[in-house]
Amino acid sequence: MQIYATWEHLAEWLAPDDLPDETESKRWLRIASERVRTATRADIYSTDSAGYPDEPDEIVAFREATCAQITEWIEADLDPFKGVAGQELLESKSSIAGGLIELDTNGSAEARARALTVLCDRGHDILRNAGLASNAPGFF
């Protein structure tokens, strides 16, 4: 499994307080790299002997898309290790006097599930701007 970014790359994207420690970051980078790989599976690009892209623009796009994915998870307070079902539900209404709390099980739940299972829009845009993530096989 290719991992397209490092802890140092991720540190360029996140505030120091949001940055997972280096060991934990490796887990995040692995899952985010899987999302990038899925988004680029139909693309044709040259690789090195380990299967990593070897063109400078593509290397940067893979790296930046990976970091964008992690940034989205952290900003949305999502934990990719818990899966879709393991995320905490968001409050949609609350009432102190009446003691009522309603949890959002519809609108944002769908968006959060998508954020955990599909590459984020920012990551997808980064790849598309580099000529990747085409969703269709390319031809030379």
Task: Give domain status of residue 59, yes or no.
Answer: yes
Task: Give domain status of residue 140, yes or no.
Answer: no
- What pLDDT does residue 102 have? 58
Residue pLDDT, tens place only, 106-132:
556 666 666 677 899 999 999 999 999
Q: Which long-range contacts (CB under 8 A, 24 or more apart) does 114-117 make?
A: 115/72, 115/73, 115/76, 115/78, 116/73, 116/78, 116/80, 116/83, 116/84, 116/87, 117/84
Domain of residue 37, residue span: 7-129
Task: Give domain status of residue 136, yes or no.
Answer: no
Task: Give domain status of residue 45, yes or no.
Answer: yes
Residue pLDDT, tens place only, 60-110:
999 999 999 999 989 888 877 665 544 455 545 455 555 666 555 555 666
- What pLDDT does residue 85 have? 46
User: Chain-wide mean pLDDT for the chain?
Assistant: 82
Task: Give domain status of residue 23, yes or no.
Answer: yes
The total number of structural domains in the chain stands at 1
Task: Give domain status of residue 11, yes or no.
Answer: yes
